[in-house]
Amino acid sequence: MILFRKVLVANRGEIACRVLRTLRRLGIASVAVYHREDRNAPHVAMADEAIRLDGPVPSGAYLDRDQIIAACRSTGAKAIHPGYGFLSENAGFAEAVEAAGLAFIGPGADVIRLMGDKIRSREFAAGHGVPVAPSVTEDEAGEAFLARAVAIGFPLLIKASAGGGGKGMKIVRNTAELAENAALARSEASRYFGDPRIFAERLVEEPRHIEVQVMGDGNGNVVHFYERECSLQRRYQKIVEEAPAPNLPAALRDRICAAAVRLAAAANYRNAGTVEFILGADGEFYFLEMNTRLQVEHPVTEMVTGIDLVEEQIRIAAGQGLSFVQEQIRIAGSAIECRICAEEPDRDFRPATGRIALLDLPSGEGIRFDGGILAKQAVTPAFDSMLAKLIAHGPSRADAVKRLERALEQTAVLGVPTNLDYLLRIVRHPAFQTGRLHTGFLTLHAEDLSAPPADSPTSVAALIAAALGDKAFRDLAFGIPEPHATIGLWRN
């Protein structure tokens, strides 16, 4: 059955390359778009055709919907895959694509809008039996507030209604502490924000970030592809993700996945989406948001289910519906993904730039490397700092961890600082190996995860190897005849 004759990929980097691989496998002609700065990027070389987007700044070019739709017209592409980021969750773009008679490989504009609105999506979730973190807002009267707060259950977090930035926040663990802390929070709210009203919400301690991959046909039929654990985050961005979530009781997993399907089905969700939840140590979970696109971390789901999610996206966009019923989707083993970023973990994860002087890619059983980088390529500040994703799959989580560790050792990126060493320290950490994960993990173990001291035998060998790379040192060590060397010493 014919899907599309030609598809345009409106993205760059690793995700553009990843989508192009599936297009090639399906025998669909591909069109890449690129900004001048990306003219030598791998996605341009991989596609059958490439159209240059003009614009003063590179990221702006990939956001230029008119140029992208025009590129479809000029090449005859019939559908657009937006990847993630850029225009992937832009309802106006989805509308414009469909108005141009093209297929948008993603959900409809109305659903993108609904899920893109924090307040509306939360109300929608609550209205369809999906748990949201309980909270109460103090109204003008303020009388019933304490009783309503107690009804939520402890521990509670009390914040200023008008506030932000953590000012005036109080953690309250029992009724005895409540009245006093509420009064204190009110006075602080009044002082900081000029508005004394406060609100209380359930505090989730040691929260885990659990998300469910779903796929819908747009007619209320939705399947899930189980969950991913994405609790390891720095600067509120994920860096290590895995499927399935370790140490998650089966009954709880079923409830979380069912909630995600309920939400997507209620929205008549079409195409791939991810429902994100926060999970507390007490087993309570709450809706965070729904991402109406393919996620960065989708490969871990593909590795454990054996299903190409991009192919399914294309089939749904071509009107073929879902290829699977729920019972056919099964999990085999465990998969873990690391995001390799150009950044300096020891300097507060500051993004780094430079030119990739040397690149060694890992290989081996169960190893997948989704990259969009080449040796000699410049890493510029124009885009996100993520260079590639390394994914390891194994029959058990312990096997996946072992394979990931070996693959991280094999990988080398020189010329640009990266978080490779930091990722390896995470993967080797006992708490990671036993799957004791929560969003505070990297902060809690910051000391263990910091760079080791420079006096180890490996550090000394590295220093000597560096010196031996320099002609000046080689001349001293080997090159200059002895008498001259001695004179050199005197001169010094």
Partner 1 sequence: MSYDLQRGADRVSLGIVARRPALSVAIEGLLHQVEEIRHGADDFELRVDGRTFRGRRTISSDEIQIRLDGQTFVFRRLHGIRGIDTSAATGDEVRADMPGTVVACHTEAGAAVAPGDRLVTIESMKLQMTVSAPRAGTIARIHVAENVTFERGAVLVSLVPIAGEEK
- Residues marked active site are found at 293
Q: Tell me whether residue 177 or residue 384 sits nearer to partner 1 (CB atom).
A: 384
Question: Min. distance of Cβ 418 from partner 1 in angstroms?
Answer: 7
36 is a contact residue toward partner 1 (CB under 8 A): no
Helices then strands, counting H and E runs in the chain, come out as 20, 23
Distance (Å, whole) CA 338 – CA 240: 5
Site for partner 1 in 440-479 (CB under 8 A): 452, 454-455, 457-470, 472-473, 476-478
Distance (Å, whole) CA 192 – CA 194: 6
Among 183, 357, 374, 398, binds partner 1 (CB under 8 A): 357
State the Cα angle at 131 between 175 and 246, rounded to 5°: 95
Q: Tell me whether residue 430 or residue 490 sits nearer to partner 1 (CB atom).
A: 490
Q: Which range touches partner 1 (CB under 8 A), out of 7-15, 127-135, 172-180, 374-382?
A: 374-382
360 is a contact residue toward partner 1 (CB under 8 A): yes
Site for partner 1 in 165-194 (CB under 8 A): none
Q: Which helix (H) or strand (E) holds 93?
A: helix 91-99
Question: Min. distance of Cβ 458 from partner 1 in angstroms?
Answer: 5
Amino acid at 41: A
DSSP assignment string, 441-458 = HHHHTHHHHSPPPTTSHH
Distance (Å, whole) CA 157 – CA 178: 10
Question: Min. distance of Cβ 172 from partner 1 in angstroms?
Answer: 33
Residues 6+ apart with CB under 8 A from 14: 370, 371, 372, 373, 386, 387, 388, 389
**1: DSSP letter:** -
* Residue 44 vs residues 9, 17, 382: alpha-carbon distances, Å: 10, 9, 17
Amino acid at 161: S
Question: What length is written for the chain?
Answer: 492
Site for partner 1 in 79-138 (CB under 8 A): none
Question: Min. distance of Cβ 348 from partner 1 in angstroms?
Answer: 8
Question: Min. distance of Cβ 478 from partner 1 in angstroms?
Answer: 7
Site size for partner 1 (CB under 8 A):
53
Instruction: Find residue 356's DSSP bridge partners.
Output: none
Phi-psi region of 53 (alpha: psi -120 to 50; beta: other; left: phi over 0): beta
Question: Min. distance of Cβ 386 from partner 1 in angstroms?
Answer: 10
492 is a contact residue toward partner 1 (CB under 8 A): yes
Coil/strand/helix, residue 490: helix
Instruction: Check if the beta carbon of residue 75 is closer than 8 Å to that of residue 62.
Output: no
Question: Min. distance of Cβ 67 from partner 1 in angstroms?
Answer: 21
Burial category of 319 from C-beta neighbours within 10 Å (exposed 0-12, middle 13-18, buried 19 and up): exposed
265 is a contact residue toward partner 1 (CB under 8 A): no
Instruction: Check if the beta carbon of residue 47 is closer than 8 Å to that of residue 31.
Output: yes
| Parallel/antiparallel/unpaired status of strands 343-344 and 156-160 | unpaired
Distance (Å, whole) CA 464 – CA 455: 12
361 is a contact residue toward partner 1 (CB under 8 A): no
Distance (Å, whole) CA 15 – CA 36: 19
Q: Tell me whether residue 179 or residue 460 sits nearer to partner 1 (CB atom).
A: 460
Q: Is the peptide bond before 244 cis (omega within 30 degrees of 0)?
A: yes
In SS3 terms, 170-187 reads as EEECCHHHHHHHHHHHHH
Among 418, 432, 438, 442, binds partner 1 (CB under 8 A): 418
Among 8, 342, 387, 388, binds partner 1 (CB under 8 A): 342
Among 74, 161, 326, 380, binds partner 1 (CB under 8 A): 380
Question: Min. distance of Cβ 342 from partner 1 in angstroms?
Answer: 8
Q: Tell me whether residue 237 or residue 268 sits nearer to partner 1 (CB atom).
A: 237
Coil/strand/helix, residue 145: helix
Among 99, 332, 374, 412, binds partner 1 (CB under 8 A): 412
Q: Which of 300, 89, 327 is nearest to 223 (CA)?
A: 327
Q: Tell me whether residue 281 or residue 412 sits nearer to partner 1 (CB atom).
A: 412
Site for partner 1 in 202-241 (CB under 8 A): 235
414 is a contact residue toward partner 1 (CB under 8 A): yes
Among 96, 198, 420, 442, binds partner 1 (CB under 8 A): 420
Among 351, 361, 402, 433, binds partner 1 (CB under 8 A): 351
Q: Which of 161, 179, 153, 182 is nearest to 170 (CA)?
A: 182
374 is a contact residue toward partner 1 (CB under 8 A): no
Q: Tell me whether residue 99 or residue 357 sits nearer to partner 1 (CB atom).
A: 357
Question: Min. distance of Cβ 490 from partner 1 in angstroms?
Answer: 10
Q: Tell me whether residue 301 or residue 418 sits nearer to partner 1 (CB atom).
A: 418
Site for partner 1 in 382-411 (CB under 8 A): 382-385, 408-409
Q: Tell me whether residue 282 or residue 475 sits nearer to partner 1 (CB atom).
A: 475
Number of C-beta neighbours around residue 50 at 10 A: 20
Q: Tell me whether residue 332 or residue 461 sits nearer to partner 1 (CB atom).
A: 461
Interface positions with partner 1 (CB under 8 A): 235, 342, 350-353, 357-358, 360, 380-385, 408-409, 412-415, 417-418, 420-421, 424, 452, 454-455, 457-470, 472-473, 476-478, 482, 485, 488-489, 492
